[in-house]
Structure 1
Amino acid sequence: MVAQEFTVDLDKALVFQVGHLGPDYQEWVHQPIVTKETPRFFESDFWEFLTRTVWWAVPVIWLPVVCWSISISIQMGHTIPEVALMVVFGIFLWTLIEYTLHRFLFHIKTKSYWGNTMHYLLHGCHHKHPMDGLRLVFPPAATAILCVPFWNMVKLCSTPSTTPALFGGGLLGYVMYDCTHYYLHHGQPSIEVSRNLKKYHLNHHFRIQTKGFGITSSLWDKVFGTLPPAKVAGKSR
């Protein structure tokens, strides 16, 4: 793909090229290449390995943490119904975090070299290569880092005995989000709800990237006025 002053060579490692696009990066990154090929990010095999994650690693790694967190609140004296309510609220909280991160961080406008580079690593690569199955879910190391501020946020707003279950619910919400996101790109939904959700998300990729930031649901798009126009949302690619 050619920008005004810089040509990105798709046959070479991409990460340290995209920063040179400057203000043309935003246009370039939102012109998707719809193949299942996995582009190379780094020349280093070590760093390249860290950028690739199979989808099933998400539930395998994080569901035990979810169960452990929830069990702590039970051990601290809360009943099963109480903990279930906390978990549901944690999932609800995650949906808001999911929307906020996607809208305000993942779609931040960048034009500097390092701004473009960081954005490409964070989310731009997904818009450029939306069918890259190995870079569709969060790498475990990145998730672990994000868990720290999430735990502290929950801790500030709850009691010591409710914090683990709320955190576990939020983490469960994340697992549901990442698995859903992978399925929307690579699955073949057979029921109407999931088919509509797939159309909704693919509209965000291929038709109107400034709307439709919800992945697991369109709830917060409705609340905050970022729902795609009905004429666009009703079409499939």
Structure 2
Amino acid sequence: MVAQGFIVDLNKPLVFQFLTLTVWWAIPVIWLPVVCCCISMSVRMGHTLPEIVLMVIFGVFLWTLIEYTLHRFLFHIKTKSYWGNTIHYLIHGCHHKHPMDGLRLVFPPAATAVLCFPFWNLVKVFATPSTTPALFGGGLLGYVMYDVTHYYLHHGQPSSDVPKNLKRYHLNHHFRIQNKGFGITSSIWDKVFGTLPPSKSTQECR
């Protein structure tokens, strides 16, 4: 396997590869109860329904930025060492190598659990003790939406325009220009940070 221009021997880390296999339905089954638990904590601390809704929406919005940041700067990081290439392959390279592998389209729950700690602490920096759980729950809900959407974009057959365009946008990242189009659930941050891929007709004119 060649990752980022360097050779990776995939015979040794087979046990690590196994840990990257996850069925898509495990994501909502495991994490939606956690989302509900977090939101209920803020409810019990006295927040009204409109306040909860706003906090959850903001948490989902915050996740879209984290989603973009992780995909652009971590999942597509340039690596040069054997173990760097191996870790990169296990995190995201295997998905680009086998984009239709249904067991490598969502993030393993153990890895998500590890990432929840810095995300919780990030929310605590700018939130109060009573708003932190709902904001975190909103972010975690955004993550669930992201992973389920990602699976659907690869294996679903959308019939309406919005999911059709989103699927076309994501598969464009896989099969045409991999250093652009890092958004999964939305292209908003690609537009903000200038990583929106050019249209096919524009690229053909160059």
Structure 1 and Structure 2 fold alike (TM over 0.5)? yes
Residues 1-237 of structure 1: pairs in structure 2 closer than 5 A: 8=1, 21=2, 24-25=5-6, 42-44=13-15, 47=16, 49-231=18-200
* RCO comparison, higher one (Cα < 8 Å, 6+): 2
Aligned residue for 1:52, secondary structure, equals coil
User: Where does structure 2 lack aligned partners over 5 or more consecutive residues?
Assistant: none
Amino acid at match of 1:24: G
- 8 Å CA contact retained: 2:60, 2:138: yes
For residues 69 and 214 of structure 1, do their structure 2 counterparts lie closer, same or farther at Cα, with a shift above 3 Å needed?
Answer: same
For residues 23 and 227 of structure 1, do their structure 2 counterparts lie closer, same or farther at Cα, with a shift above 3 Å needed?
Answer: closer
Aligned residue for 1:175, secondary structure, equals helix
- The answer to which of 94-103 and 109-118 deviates more is 109-118
- 8 Å CA contact retained: 2:158, 2:164: yes
Q: CA deviation at 1:52?
A: 1.3
Q: CA deviation at 1:234?
A: 10
Instruction: Report the TM-score when normalising by structure 2.
Output: 0.92
- 8 Å CA contact retained: 1:98, 1:214: yes
CA RMSD, Structure 1 to Structure 2 (Å): 2.3
Whole-angstrom distance in 1 between the partners of 2:12 and 2:29: 25
Q: Give 4+ residue runs of structure 1 displaced > 3 Å after superposition.
A: 39-44, 232-235
Q: CA deviation at 1:48?
A: 5.0
Q: Sequence identity, in percent? A: 76
- 8 Å CA contact retained: 1:23, 1:110: yes
User: Where does structure 1 lack aligned partners over 5 or more consecutive residues?
Assistant: 1-7, 9-20, 29-38
Whole-angstrom distance in 2 between the partners of 1:59 and 1:220: 25
Aligned pairs, how many?
Answer: 203
Q: CA deviation at 1:112?
A: 1.0
